[in-house]
């Protein structure tokens, strides 16, 4: 977000949020690489998600996880202004990989969701499907704006793409923040992994960050800085909870 013109308070607050998010995404990427990478070397990618005899499904899972790793790392690099200014060729190359990964990752994710099946109920699946549709849409619009050399429009769509593409990360951060605050699973059943809170979170994981971004793109000043400051604190809390409760124990 730090590459969008804004008054210093909002710009500084956006930079703080990006620093928190980049740290959390780096931890998440490391978790994916270690947890699933080591398992893949042993012939068991994703462990419980690896189904014997399901060659197509296992291939989709492997592609999806690889793309998730590449997109998590690449997305953070795309939002570093210094790299974009000093290494424009790298920015373009990583951008092409990121957008291609967004398209393929969304399609493989939809296959795993609707064909192979996963945890959650219909409401959660619909939320994740809408997320995938937005990812594809934002990727295509960002690509078209870049081809037209309309870089201001391209950056706005690229920011939306970055947030939507990290919906699964926001889901985990939001879930662990909820559990840290309430200290018990309120609004959902942890055994079946269903309930109104999880259904709401399946939509909020991308709609809430996108709403904050739209406010930032359209408004400037201390009110937006305060909003981003709150978002930074909430994100930091969720990252801490997810790191200690989900990612670190599985390394």
How far apart, in whole angstroms, are the C-alpha atoms of residue 102 and residue 53?
Answer: 27
**Half-sphere exposure in the Cβ direction for 83 (13 Å, CA):** 14
- SS3 state of residue 194: strand
- SS3 state of residue 189: strand
Distances in Å between the Cα of 23 and the Cα atoms of 8, 100, 238, 246 are: 22, 24, 12, 16
- The reported pLDDT for the residue numbered 5 is 42
State the Rg of the chain over Cα.
18
The domain locations on the chain are 8-250
How far apart, in whole angstroms, are the C-alpha atoms of residue 161 and residue 97?
Answer: 13
How far apart, in whole angstroms, are the C-alpha atoms of residue 164 and residue 170?
Answer: 9
Locate tokens 């840290």: which residue?
180
Q: What is the block-wise mean pLDDT of the chain (251 residues), using blocks of 10 residues?
A: 55 92 89 67 50 58 67 76 83 84 82 78 94 94 94 94 93 96 93 94 97 91 93 96 84 59
- The reported pLDDT for the residue numbered 64 is 63
Instruction: Identify which of 134, 131, 173, 139 has the alpha carbon closest to the alpha carbon of residue 25.
Output: 173
What does the block give as tokens for 12?
A: 């500084």
- The reported pLDDT for the residue numbered 1 is 45
- DSSP secondary structure letters along 65-100: HHHHHHHHHHHHHHT-HHHHHH-HHHHHHHHHHHHH
């Amino acid at each position: 977000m730090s590459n969008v013109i804004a008054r210093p308070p909002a710009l500084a607050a956006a930079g703080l949020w990006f620093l928190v998010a980049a740290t959390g995404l780096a931890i998440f990427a490391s978790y994916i690489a270690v947890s699933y990478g080591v398992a893949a070397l042993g012939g068991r990618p994703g462990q419980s998600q690896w189904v014997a005899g399901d060659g197509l499904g296992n291939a989709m899972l492997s592609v999806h996880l690889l793309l998730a790793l590449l997109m998590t790392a690449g997305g953070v690099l795309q939002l570093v202004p210094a790299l974009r200014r000093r290494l424009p060729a790298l920015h373009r190359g990583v951008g092409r990989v990121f957008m291609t990964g967004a398209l393929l990752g969304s399609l493989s994710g939809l296959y795993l969701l609707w064909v192979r099946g996963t945890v959650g109920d219909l409401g959660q699946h619909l939320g994740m499907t809408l997320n995938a549709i937005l990812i594809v849409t934002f990727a295509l619009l960002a690509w078209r704006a870049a081809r037209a050399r309309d870089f201001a429009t391209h950056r706005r769509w690229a920011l939306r793409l970055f947030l939507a593409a990290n919906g699964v990360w926001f889901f985990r951060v939001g879930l662990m923040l909820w559990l840290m605050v309430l200290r018990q699973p309120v609004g959902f059943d942890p055994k079946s992994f269903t309930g109104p809170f999880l259904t709401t979170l399946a939509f909020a994981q991308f709609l809430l960050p996108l709403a904050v971004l739209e406010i930032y793109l359209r408004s400037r000043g201390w009110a937006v800085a305060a909003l981003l400051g709150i978002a930074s604190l909430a994100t930091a809390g969720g990252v801490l909870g997810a790191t200690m409760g989900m990612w670190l124990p599985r390394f």
